[in-house]
A and B are shown apart, each in its own frame.
Chain A
């Protein structure tokens, strides 16, 4: 049993809110949850992959779905996109670049942004399970 495993199991036993806080951190900034758990490689991997997918999506002029869509697929798209945390919210604030779906690249970009959210959702679940001591 590694030191990291002992640390997470001890934290989870002492404070049941700990895994929830880790999951929240992992959602807000991809990789932050694993960073808090001292899983350096996984933290870097998830930050690079979720960030890379999201930034490539924005560079391709993909569309990030907004909340409150009348279309169920728009709502699903928003849920997927919003899972990438800071990579969903910050570009909306920092840039005024508009999506361009008139070219195939924009459509690919939309899928990249959604994939970033799905990757980060998997990372959040992994961080939560790790914080609970269910994964090493």
Chain B
């Protein structure tokens, strides 16, 4: 999940921002959101896993 989040974040940053600084900021923000939301959704689904 971490590798997927990292690679997709970089791709989205390349598409979404024009400057290098903007891309780095966007990629870091997107990467963090991928991880937080991924782990959050996993915790929400945990009670239904049994």
Contacts and interface: CB of A to CB of B under 8 A. Distances in A.
Check if A and B associate. yes
Report whether over half of chain A's contact residues are helix, strand or loop; otherwise say mixed. Answer: helix
Q: Is the interface of B mostly helix, strand, loop or mixed?
A: helix
A61 B23 CA distance: 32
A25 interface: no
A84 B15 CA distance: 16
B6 to A, nearest CB: 9
Interface residues of B, number: 12
Interface in A115-135: 115, 119, 122-123, 126
A117 B14 CA distance: 16
Contact of A50 (B3, B11, B13, B23): B11
A41 B18 CA distance: 10
B7 interface: yes
Interface of A: 41-42, 45-46, 48-50, 52-53, 56, 111-112, 115, 119, 122-123, 126, 136
Interface of B: 3-4, 7-8, 10-11, 13-15, 18, 20, 23
The 9 lowest CB-CB distance pairs between A and B, nearest first, are A45-B14, A49-B11, A119-B11, A49-B7, A42-B14, A52-B7, A49-B10, A53-B7, A45-B10
9 contacts: A45-B13, A46-B11, A49-B14, A50-B11, A52-B7, A53-B8, A119-B7, A126-B15, A136-B18
